[in-house]
Every structure is written in structure tokens, then in C-alpha cells.
Amino acid sequence: MGNFRTSREIINFDNLKKIREKDTKLLYNQFLTILRLNSITDKPTAFMKMINLFLAKLADEITENDNFTIKDKHGNSFQLDGMKFQYVEDETPESFVKRLSELYKEGMSRYLKKEVIVYGDAFSFIEIYDESTFLENFEVLKNLVQILENFRLKYETKHQFLGDFFEELLNTSLKQEAGQFFTPYPIVDFMINSLDFEQRINKEIQNRNPDFIPTVIDYACGAGHFLISAITAIQNILSNIDATNLTNEQKRKIKTCKTTPYLWANEKKVVGIEKDYRLAKTSKIALFLNGDGDAEIIAGDGINKFDSKEYSQTILHSNSQKNEIFDYVISNPPYSVDGFMLNFRKNGISKETNTFSLLKGEINSKDSAIEIYFVERMEQLLKKGGIGAIVLPQSVLSNEKYEKMREFLFNNFKILSLLLTADITFSGTTTSPVILFLRKEQVENQNYDILIHQSPKYSTPNTAKLREKETKFLGYEFSSNRSKAGIKIIEGSVLSKLEIVTKEFITNGNTTIPNDMKIYSKIVKLKDILLNIKHNYCGDIYPKRVICNGKPLSEYCKINEWKEIDFSNVGAPNHYLEIGNLTDQIPTKKKVTKRFCKAGDILISSLTPRKTQIVIAKDKFMVSPAIHILSSFENEKVRDKIFEKLKTDSTIEQMNAILDGFKITYAKISEQNLINNILVKI
């Protein structure tokens, strides 16, 4: 090997510049400029290739200076010493790409414990199919490396602007195209700021425990938002602890936490699991750029067996069915995933393995309720007294298919608080979510207080200006412009004010709800919002339930009783009514149904009922299955009294409080709830 000459010095570790806020803004603009100049419009793919570059650079910074070999265009090889993550003038494209690929392989192994075999397209910003496109991609890659190579990305302390820089890249590149991956930061902040981190830390300190820093896991961590926010919250508490009355060991730890912030956030304290390896890489880089790079990110399945290969060499690995080592589980896990049971089969999970007690039968490839097993895994991970903060679809509260899961919750957790919002909460889905705060403990009954928050659209889905009210409540709205960041933050949200109330309730078991928040929040007994409890059914949770005096409708009438045979003497109805026909009762469509009414019956829309959709039938009709029919009253006088009661605001409120459905504006009152749980007094 000969001497290699270049017009500039080889970059070594000591030459790396500390990054500043103005540098990150410049880097961001340069990144977009390079994409634009090279007509790269597929930003999600470009972002993931950029993640690979970050991984390669971080792997390089860990080893600092190293010997490496380059080749020039004449075929000569040269030995150099310095940082591998740089473009060396006059080296061949092949030499440059190979070195970066080796760094990427090293980064995947070191940070995600993944041994990469095929990595030829790790840096393919454009499709490569011949020498010309290879060289075109090389120019893009070289330009991107050159904007990063002089800066240091890994620090022992938090550089907020580095995290902001990465978040800006994330917003621009992925959030619009794959918004379902990410929990909006106002939701993240609400969940994190509602938790009792400070009380738990102080309690452990008072108990003279030298290991007083809590453990946190997000088993579906996406881009790492919950982990980053939780680490920041815990660090803020540690930075403000008075060390006067601490043990010597505790004092040493606090001193380290203050002089070297975030160093405590290691693989034993903070764990994330993400099945999508692209997002696992994203999460790891996000943690690094927020100063928390030693946290464990597992590229794997959050509901795999504890003795799986994915969990080997991590704190999660165990030969037991449980691994109760975490103080907090904070997550927005996936739901309604078609075919996830095939992963169970692949991972060797079955009823016989007892991995999940809620897996009762054989593997059913059509089952999509993956959220059930994330709930049980939460219990398997939490210490006794640990807290889970989890986002689930609202249908888990009352849908019959979640009955065993609810029973599991009642048996293993105390429900502390619920936040219920509507169908604009997340981008990419119209499902209305519920955020549950749960403490792992066994309670004797459901006669305990629970704090409930309800957004405007959830609580009153039929009122005016709902989107505006919901946005103000949440504190953000999604951008419809793909050239802009995916979310617009609105200051002074209701949600940000509810953090204080929720944290106080979770910490102390009680709180005073401010007067201006009482339209959104209430404290009720869990037993008072549980309906349909039977000896073989644990019941349904209806957070909006209104308790009032009266008798159930079943005392006065029957529901949906008529069959075609009941019209044998007069002829079956041949006109069809939909909900939209209820007001004038003029049929507009020709359809056939098995639901019938007779003249004089009361017809009620099951879909978010309102006064105009409660009528007395003028004739016999076939009716939509979405319309309930009340009939067989003692006489017309009783019917008329019931009819008037049904149209009152209080009864409408009752009906809208016990709706079922995944989307607020399409939720329905079931036949069972209408006839058994609507109370009227005549």
C-alpha cells in the first residue's frame, strides 16, 4: 500500500464539531435540498435510508478513530486512520459504499442486535439497476455523508435541538404517509405528565433503596415518543432532588444524574420493543439524538415468548411466563391486525404453552384482536403496584368479544382513570380511542372511584362545531398539506390542563376538579358505569352512563318482536324504511329485511339517537336493522307517555351514554341496552 494524498485532512474523532442549533437547521434544509435536486420524491424511503446513515455514523463514533482501507480509481489500496464515516477525495464509489455498509452492519448488530446479511440497498436513495444509476445514487450518498461527517451526533447529555431536528425529519418524511405509527405529542405528554414518577422515586428514596430510578417499557414503541418523553420527565425530577437526607449511595447516584444527565437511562431501566424494524431503527436514533442512546430497543414482537431469541441478551429474557420487572408500561399498541395469530404460530405460542391465559382456543388466523394480548402482556411485565398507561379502541369497554379481557382487567388491575376522545384523535384511523391508567393490584369489588375525562365529540356527538371543539380539547390538528409537518400544535389545550388533575388523582387517589373542567371530567364509582353484569358475563363499561330513576322499557313494551308470520292475515309489509325516512316515513328505496313494524309502534334510530329519529309508525313497514321497534304496549295511552319520555333531553342523554361502536358518530344503542337499561318514569 502506498501513500495517499488528498487536498484535505482525513477527519478524525478529535476534529468532529459539536453540533449547534443553527447547524441542525442547516442540515435539515440541506437534506431536503439534496432530495429536491435529485428528484427524490419518495420521502419515507429516503428517511429510512437516512436512518441507516445515522446508524452507520453512530457506530463509527463509538469506535472513534480506526484504521481503514480505501481504493482509488487506479486500483491502488491505501491504509488510513480516522473516522470511517467520511468521503475521502478520489476514492472509488465502490470503496466508499462498502465502508458505509460495513458501518451500517456494525450499527445494526450493536444497537438492535440484528445480524445483517444482505445490506446492498441500505443506502439506495434511488432505484439502482445499472452502473449509471449506481453512480447517480453514489452522488446523493456522498452529498449526504458530507453534510454529516464533520459533526458529532452522540453526546452524554441531551441536546434538545438534535431531537427537534430528528422530529422535523420525521414529520416531513413519514408522519403524513404513515400517521398511524405515531402518537401525537400532546397525547404523549398527557399520558407521561399524568403519571406518579415523582411520588414513586421519593418513596423509594425514603425506603433507603439505592435503586430508586423507575423502570419503563413501551412494547410497541414506534418512533420512541413515549420513551423519550418518559426519560425527560424522570430526568427533570432527578435533577431537582434535594440530596440532604439521602444515604451516601443515593447521594452518589443523584450526583451522577445531575452531572451526567440521562446516563441512567440504560438497557436495564428503559426498554422499547418495535416489530417494524424500520421504526425500531428510527426509535434508536431518536433516543441517541435526545441523549438517551443507551436505552434498549428490541427489533421484535412485543408479545413474543419471554424465552424467544428476539429477547435474548436483554432484560426481557426469562424462562417464566411473567417478567414482572417494570414500574411503568406506557404504550399505544396496534389493534385489529389481521392475521397476527399466524405470528403466534410462528413463535410457538399456543393454548398449551400457557404464554397467554386469554388464548383459550386454537389459533384462529381470522382473529384480529391483537390488543387483548398486549393487555395481558402489560400485566406480565408490571411489578405489583406498577402502572400501565395504554391506548386502546373504545370498543374494548363494551364489545362482547373483549369480555374475557375486561374480566382479566377487573381481576388484576385497579382502573384509575379513563380518557375518552373521538375519531379525529389519530391520523390514518377513524377509531375512537380510550386511554386507560391502571395500577396492578387486586381489588375485592368495583366499588371504588375512577376519574373520567370526556372530549366534546365523545360526550355530545350531535352538537355543533364539534371538530373545532375537539381540536381545542386535544391541542392539535393534522395538516392536510403533505409539504408541511403532519401536526399543528394548538396552545392552551384542555388536555394539557387535565394532566394536573389526573396526576393528582393517580398519585393521591383523589383530586378536586376545577369548575371550568367539570364539563369534561368527573369522578364516579366503577360499579355505577358497569352494565349488563350476569353470572357468566363480567359486564360492560359505559363511562357516559347517566343514573336516573324509573323502570326499564321492558316493563312497558317489547322490542323488535314482529316476524313475517305475524302478518299472515293482513299481508307482510312491502315498503322499506331507513333511518333517513323516519321523519316523513316516505320510503325511498326498495329493499327486503327481516325486521318489521306495525302501525302505532315506536321507531327509534339506533345510531346516535336524536329526537327527530323517534317516531310513531303510521303504517306497517319493513325497517332497517339500524332501527329499533317498540311494540305491545298495554294501551295507546301508555305508548304515548313512553313516546314523550323517549323524546326528552334526559332520555336522549341516557341513550347516547350507552352506545357501542368503534367510531363516535356511528355508535349504536343495542337492543339489550335500549330495552333493559333505559329507565323512564311515567
User: What's the CATH code of the domain at 661?
Assistant: 3.90.220.20
- Does residue 648 fall inside a structural domain? yes
- Does residue 24 fall inside a structural domain? yes
The residue from 152, 177, 196 where one domain ends is: 152
- Does residue 202 fall inside a structural domain? yes
DSSP 202: H
179 in the same domain as 101: no
- Does residue 2 fall inside a structural domain? no
CA-CA distances (angstroms) from residue 67 to 91, 107, 181, 229, 286? Answer: 16, 17, 40, 38, 29
Helical (H) or strand (E) element with 632: none
Per-residue model confidence (pLDDT) at position 172: 65
464 in the same domain as 413: yes
What predicted TM-score, i.e. pTM, was given to this entire model? 0.89
Per-residue model confidence (pLDDT) at position 292: 76
- Does residue 468 fall inside a structural domain? yes
Among 551, 559, 555, residue whose Cα is nearest residue 679: 551
Give the rounded distance of the alpha carbon of 146 from its chain centre.
36
363 in the same domain as 409: yes
CA-CA distances (angstroms) from residue 521 to 187, 508, 536? Answer: 17, 17, 32
222 in the same domain as 107: no
Residue 265 phi, psi (nearest 5)? -80, 70
| DSSP letter string, 7-18 | SSPPP-GGGPEE
Q: Cite the DSSP H helix spans in 91-149.
A: 93-112, 131-148
Among 170, 505, 113, residue whose Cα is nearest residue 317: 113
Cα angle 178, 219, 366 (rounded to 5 degrees) comes to 70
CA-CA distances (angstroms) from residue 182 to 15, 176, 226, 405, 468? Answer: 36, 10, 10, 25, 22
For strands 433-440 and 413-420, give the pairing.
antiparallel
Per-residue model confidence (pLDDT) at position 159: 62
352 in the same domain as 212: yes
Question: Residue 95 corresponds to which amino acid?
Answer: S
At residue 272, the 3 state secondary structure works out as strand
Per-residue model confidence (pLDDT) at position 659: 92
DSSP 278: H
Per-residue model confidence (pLDDT) at position 179: 34
The residue from 152, 174, 200 where one domain ends is: 152
Domain count, the chain: 3
DSSP 607: B
Let me know if 455 is exposed, middle or buried by CB neighbors in 10 A (0-12, 13-18, 19+). Answer: buried
164 in the same domain as 128: no
Q: Which residues of the chain have pLDDT under 70?
A: 1-8, 118-119, 156-164, 171-181, 479-486, 664-665
Per-residue model confidence (pLDDT) at position 185: 86
CB 231 within 8 A of CB 271: no
- Does residue 466 fall inside a structural domain? yes
At residue 534, the 3 state secondary structure works out as strand
CB 458 within 8 A of CB 420: yes
Q: Could you report the per-residue pLDDT of 449-506, keeping only the tens digit for each?
A: 999 999 999 988 777 788 899 999 999 987 655 444 467 889 999 999 999 999 999 9
258 in the same domain as 404: yes
For residue 293, the domain's CATH number is: 3.40.50.150
Question: Residue 520 corresponds to which amino acid?
Answer: Y
Per-residue model confidence (pLDDT) at position 121: 84
Let me know if 560 is exposed, middle or buried by CB neighbors in 10 A (0-12, 13-18, 19+). Answer: buried
The residue from 541, 576, 610 where one domain ends is: 541
462 in the same domain as 594: no
Q: Which residue range forms the structural domain that includes residue 609?
A: 551-680
- Does residue 502 fall inside a structural domain? yes
- Does residue 546 fall inside a structural domain? no
Q: Could you report the per-residue pLDDT of 398-443, keeping only the tens digit for each?
A: 999 999 999 999 999 999 999 999 988 887 778 899 999 999 999 9
Give the rounded distance of the alpha carbon of 188 from its chain centre.
9
646 in the same domain as 536: no
512 in the same domain as 571: no
Let me know if 267 is exposed, middle or buried by CB neighbors in 10 A (0-12, 13-18, 19+). Answer: middle
Per-residue model confidence (pLDDT) at position 663: 73
496 in the same domain as 573: no
60 in the same domain as 202: no
Residue 377 phi, psi (nearest 5)? -65, -35
CB 317 within 8 A of CB 305: no
